[in-house]
Amino acid sequence: MPRQILSKEIIIQTSINLIEVNRDNSFANIARNLGTQSQALYNYFSNQIDLNYAIVAWTIKQITQHLQQKLFGQTKMDAIIAFAMELRKLALDHFLLAQFILKMPRTDKYPDVKLAFADLKALLDCLIATEFTDRKKQILASRCGRDLLIGDIINVGTGWFADKSIPTESGFRTLLKNNLENIKNAN
């Protein structure tokens, strides 16, 4: 591959491409793919961990932007479910990248990551607030949705749901809707 001008975004995208084909996103592999030396990457990222968190921040920002466009104008229960279904689809379509992101420990060390997750959560919270007015129910709805979503992504992505008599997508939608309705109707 001919040499190209490096940038943080090119390095992140190359790293994501490696992750999505189940290859190690080491500096050596990234540099090999970009036709440069791994030392050149240190001008952009001080170490592998910094790069990994930059991947997380970039990906979450892209997901949030996608969801904002996809869900524009939607409210109430339908919007919450649409958020979860779209995020589920994205994660399953890019399962290796989703696994990569989910395994990264949460930390306050990387402000871009913290901001990216805060923006994604703010979008979800905004949607939840259109259906739930009680703050405790909003928190429960958010936790319920995230728990079900992450569990479903992992279970479906790793093949744990082998029984095909209930399609995983409709099963997830039913579980999410029923649980949210239970939270809404609880005293």
pLDDT band at 162 (very low <50, low <70, confident <90, very high): confident
Q: Write down the pTM of the prediction.
A: 0.92
Region for residue 80 given its phi and psi (left: phi exceeds 0; alpha: psi -120 to 50; beta: otherwise): alpha
pLDDT of 171: 95
The pLDDT tens digits for 112-142 are 999 999 999 999 999 999 999 999 999 999 9
The pLDDT tens digits for 71-125 are 999 999 999 999 999 999 999 999 999 999 999 999 999 999 999 999 999 999 9
pLDDT of 187: 81
pLDDT of 88: 98
How many C-beta atoms surround the C-beta of residue 14 within 10 A?
20
